[in-house]
Amino acid sequence: AAFDEHCSNDDIYKNIAEPLVNLTVKEGIVATILLYGQTGCGKSYTMSGIEERTAKGIFQAIASLRSSSNDNDDNDGTTASDDAGKVTMQFVELCGNKEIKDLLTAKSKEVVKLLEDEAGVCRLLNATSIDITSPEHLLQKLAEGKSRRATEATDKNGVS
pLDDT tens-digit readout, 113-150: 999 999 998 889 999 999 999 999 999 999 999 898 87
- The answer to whether the CB of 81 falls within 8 A of the CB of 99 is no
pLDDT, average across residues 104-115: 85
Under DSSP, the state recorded for 155 is: S
The chain-wide mean pLDDT, for the chain, equals 83
Around Cβ 62, how many Cβ atoms within 10 Å? Answer: 18
133 — phi, psi (to 5°)? -110, -15
pLDDT tens-digit readout, 18-75: 999 999 888 888 888 887 778 888 888 888 888 999 999 999 999 988 888 777 665 5
Check residue 15 and give its pLDDT: 93
Q: 76 pLDDT exceeds 60?
A: no
pTM here?
A: 0.78
Around Cβ 138, how many Cβ atoms within 10 Å? Answer: 21
Cα 103 to the chain's mean position, in Å? 13
Check residue 18 and give its pLDDT: 94
- The answer to whether the CB of 50 falls within 8 A of the CB of 87 is no
